Amino acid sequence: MTETSIRRPFIAGNWKMYKTAAQAAEYVSGLRSMLPADPKVDVALAPAFPALEAAVRAAAGSPIAIAAQNVFWETEGAFTGEVSAPMLNDLGVELVIIGHSERRQYFGETDQTVNRRLKTAVSNGLRPIVCIGETLEQREAGLTFSVLETQLKDGLAGLDHETAEKLVLAYEPVWAIGTGRTATPEIAQEAHRFIRHKLIELFDKRLANHIRLLYGGSVKPENTADLLAQPDLDGALVGGASLKVDVFYKIVDIGCQVTA
Ligand code: PEP
């Protein structure tokens, strides 16, 4: 994944609990044959743990980076069911999604555990994609900004500037995930602008302008261009629409055109 340019657009696919190792390898091979050698956006895919190795192998030497969907904060020990950062390093995984709303909703993830996972990821050379976002009830109660502020303050607590440099944030309103109900570009931009301002308070302007903010929530080819045209949207975290290679490729291709 390119490290050179600041806020280079970034399109990542989150496969959630879909695809075996063989299916992952087939998909990645297909995508790499469609992509130009040097796409104008960074591209990543997040398979489930058992498919990571096959995906890394199939992506080797291509512009596709492979992400895990979670990482534990200890490096080894009696933690049944968990996967550590050194284990992901060993597979050649480059990135990791942390704090996805499904982890928060179904598996008790909190801003505090997000913070621990985040620090471990970065200290082990994994680039974190930290997810934040409000639920429908919170939005309807007018709590969106205070929820985002808490998630940022607590999730990123104690992060030094060097660690924050590595950060990618994904704003994923929970009401838009897997529902087909995408945030309008204006709603997404409003939240992204708020997040960027909070990053100035938490770090400084330079870092706030450097950290990429992805939007996630029912992104599909039909809405990608309008979303990515917003000034504070630097890419997308795509769930359902990343499961079919031709659909995900279309989103990446639109990202390249918006960038061109
Ligand atoms: C996600 O899983 O991060 C996501 C945004 O899902 P979907 O695109 O299906 O809403």
Contact between residue 141 and residue 184 where contact means Cβ atoms under 8 Å apart: no
What phi-psi label fits residue 61: left (phi over 0), alpha (psi between -120 and 50 degrees) or beta? left
Choosing from 94, 102, 109, 172, which is the catalytic residue? 172
Local structure of residue 177 (DSSP, 8 states): T
Residue nearest to atom 1 of ligand 1 (CA): 239
Q: Indicate whether residue 242 lines ligand 1 (CB < 6 A).
A: no
Local structure of residue 131 (DSSP, 8 states): E
Residue nearest to atom 3 of ligand 1 (CA): 239
Strands (E), the chain: 10-14, 42-46, 64-68, 95-98, 127-132, 168-171, 212-216, 235-238
| Rounded mean pLDDT, 51-66 | 98
Local structure of residue 84 (DSSP, 8 states): B
| Active site annotation includes 190 | no
Q: CA torsion, points 237, 240, 242, 245, in degrees to nearest 10?
A: -170
DSSP string, 127-155: EEEEEE---HHHHHTT-HHHHHHHHHHHH
Question: Is the pLDDT assigned to residue 2 strictly greater than 60?
Answer: no
Choosing from 94, 100, 102, 149, which is the catalytic residue? 100
CA angle 199-205-209, nearest 5°? 75
| Rounded mean pLDDT, 220-228 | 97
> What is residue 5's predicted lDDT score, i.e. its pLDDT?
42
| Rounded mean pLDDT, 14-41 | 97
Q: In the predicted model, what is the mean pLDDT of the chain?
A: 95
| Rounded mean pLDDT, 191-203 | 97
> What is residue 182's predicted lDDT score, i.e. its pLDDT?
84
pLDDT tens figures, 237-247: 999 999 999 99
pLDDT tens figures, 125-153: 999 999 999 999 999 999 999 999 999 99
pLDDT tens figures, 156-168: 999 999 999 999 9
Kindly report the pTM of this predicted structure. 0.95
| Rounded mean pLDDT, 74-101 | 98
Q: Which residues pair with 10 in a beta bridge?
A: 42, 235
Mutate which of 172, 174, 220 for ligand 1 pocket (most atoms within 8 A of beta carbon) = 172
> What is residue 252's predicted lDDT score, i.e. its pLDDT?
98
Question: Is the pLDDT assigned to residue 260 strictly greater than 80?
Answer: no
